[in-house]
A = this chain, B = another copy of it.
């Protein structure tokens, strides 16, 4: 079980070490090649609906001192990861940076360096950072709804948790690792899931019992969602067949949150297939909603306008729906928050707005 899952990353790490060792043995200057992480080497794959790296590669060799240190650091990191996997430990990216204090001259100059090297390892091996037991500082998001999962806890015990009946009102907290060795989906009795940008709106839907009344699963995105949140939603969508709806502010930055949920982000292009849910549908708030519901708004800032204009040329926003909504927003020069729906009272979001919008999407009859 856990072993088979952990076998692949260990093997991949050994491959890297063996390749360097082999080059040294045969008297070559050691080096490794990795896909170029430039914008021009990242392509949108319309068929899969996600971002991926292209074929261009760069190499990193020990010809110069800088490159040699980089290879040494890589070897230390491989060793550290191997040790963690063997001991069932994990480390924050910040801890790994401090761990390198013990690596003498190979120690990282900044956490940015160690984070980038962790991403390089992902790209080279095709594994995920979570497989290497590395995790960010971010908290997992909260979820609420009639879905039962089985979590293998820190002691290796398996616990069934219903994300509505077995938790308090703050919901179930998604752990940093949601791969199959940690989380299994057991049962789901919901018609769809809604990913919600703000904690205020998430708590509103929880308080109003929207998950029960509308048979849905609520996910708090907490702004730009953590990897574990995106992976959790993708697995729920794929393994349990639960359609995913995204509900955010009407704001260019919120549209990017939707895009990263549905298509992936440039920064994590190498693992888009693991994280993105290409069938995710954007529900609102839209510019049309601002007009139809006469919502309280703020003026677009100069930066907002620039962001919207750049989205008009982004392949992730090129369908008719997004073109129309973004152009309408630029025309009315306004943005609005989810919580602006409270203008009509605390129940307006759950009693009027969401049912109307979900009916349009065919998710409520």
> What are the residues of chain B within 8 A of A207 when measuring CB–CB?
89-90, 154
Q: Contact flags (1/0) for A161-189 with B, using CB distance below 8 Å?
A: 10000111111111110000000000000
Does A58 sit within 8 A of B, measured CB to CB?
Answer: no
CA distance A166 to B160 in the complex (A): 10
Does A92 sit within 8 A of B, measured CB to CB?
Answer: yes
> What are the residues of chain B within 8 A of A172 when measuring CB–CB?
168, 170
> What are the residues of chain B within 8 A of A154 when measuring CB–CB?
169, 206-207, 209
Does A102 sit within 8 A of B, measured CB to CB?
Answer: yes
Instruction: State whether A339 and B151 are in contact (beta carbons under 8 Å apart), knowing that A166-B166, A175-B169, A200-B137 are contacts in the complex.
Output: no
Contact call B170/A173, Cβ cutoff below 8 A: yes
Identical copies of this chain, number? 2
Contact call A137/B198, Cβ cutoff below 8 A: yes
Contact call B168/A200, Cβ cutoff below 8 A: no
Q: Kindly report which residue of chain B lies nearest to residue A222, judged by CB atoms.
A: B139
CA distance A161 to B170 in the complex (A): 13
> What are the residues of chain B within 8 A of A352 when measuring CB–CB?
none
Q: Kindly report which residue of chain B lies nearest to residue A95, judged by CB atoms.
A: B342
> What are the residues of chain B within 8 A of A135 when measuring CB–CB?
203
Chain A residues with a Cβ under 8 A of chain B: 84, 89-92, 94-96, 98-99, 101-102, 135, 137-140, 142, 151, 153-155, 159, 161, 166-176, 198-200, 203-204, 206-207, 209, 220, 222, 296, 337, 339-346
Besides A138-B199, A139-B199, 5 other A-B contacts (C-beta < 8 A): A84-B346, A98-B337, A98-B342, A137-B199, A167-B173
> Could you list 22 examples of A-B contacts with CB < 8 Å?
A92-B203, A95-B204, A96-B342, A98-B337, A99-B342, A99-B345, A102-B344, A137-B198, A138-B199, A139-B139, A139-B142, A139-B170, A139-B199, A139-B220, A151-B169, A155-B209, A159-B168, A161-B168, A170-B174, A170-B175, A171-B173, A173-B173
